[in-house]
Amino acid sequence: MEKNEIIKKAADYAQRLLSSETSGHDWWHTYRVWKMSLHIARKERADLFVVQLAALLHDVDDYKLKFSKAGIKKKTVKQILSKIGTDDITAKKILHIIQNMSFNKSFDGKKVNTLEGKIAQDADRLDALGAVGIARTFAFGGSHGRKIYDPKIKLAKFKSSKECRHSESPSINHFYEKLLLIGNMLNTKTARQIAKERHKYLEQYLERFFAEWEGKR
Ligand code: ADP
Ligand code: NI
């Protein structure tokens, strides 16, 4: 099958599955990761086919997702790849990327070891920064019953993905526990460049948040 046709099928599946997701991992998150991956991959001269498929399918089988309204049966990434006609060698590469790229897994020492994986991971992480990242953090927090902020709850330092998953931290704490660390965790030069402005925006946002909290602005 044509590569473009496979990409289109992956995008269609992700769109149908994620369209009613509301915790910050909706289709438009996948769409942004897809476009950003493509942008980075062109600059870094990576395999555009592998990068795009990894980006498009990176969240379809994630434990965090709730798709109560989508009404379509969830499949494993392996099943989808085979269904849309991906050859075995490419499928293997993509599975490795998706199984290792999640932020939480980096606490367990998991790493992606291909350029394509590094790019998909960078694009996913960039979507947690900047204006969009702020929106997603509060969307995720709200949908998981987290507080916006509570000065009595101290910052946590996670040692494993399990600890991180089960954290009840308020969303503001999440900025310090994860988001502000992302800038130093990116793999590619292109992503680090893009992250600079987005990181600064988070810092400015927090400064203003605390000023408003105390009625100072
Ligand atoms: P990944 O799926 O890449 O491992 P995460 O689940 O950590 O990434 O993050 C995806 C999005 O969810 C990010 O925008 C992040 O800010 C948000 N998020 C994850 N955990 C929390 C949390 N405890 N509180 C608020 N937002 C969170
Ligand atoms: Ni994602």
Question: Does pLDDT of 13 surpass 90?
Answer: yes
Q: Which ligand is nearest to the CA of 105?
A: 1
Q: What is the pLDDT of residues 29-74, one digit of tens each?
A: 999 999 999 999 999 999 999 999 999 999 998 866 665 555 677 8
pLDDT band for position 210 (cuts 50, 70, 90): very high
The predicted pLDDT at position 194 comes to: 98
Pocket of ligand 1 (CB under 6 A): 24, 64, 102-104, 124, 128, 133, 136-137, 140-141, 146, 167, 169, 171, 174, 179
CA distance 173 to 148: 9
Ligand 2 ion: residues within 5 Å (CB): 59, 124
Over residues 110-123, mean pLDDT: 95
Q: CA angle 94-97-102, nearest 5°? A: 140
Q: Which residue has the least CA distance to atom 10 on ligand 1?
A: 128
Model-level pTM?
A: 0.93
* Residue 129 CB partners (closer than 8 Å, separation 6+): 179, 182, 183, 195, 198, 199, 201, 202
Selection from 162, 163, 167 nearest residue 146 by Cα: 167
Q: Ligand 1 centroid vs 104 CA: distance in angstroms?
A: 9
Selection from 159, 103, 158 nearest residue 129 by Cα: 103
CA distance 116 to 95: 12
Q: Ligand 1 centroid vs 85 CA: distance in angstroms?
A: 31
Q: Ligand 1 centroid vs 137 CA: distance in angstroms?
A: 6
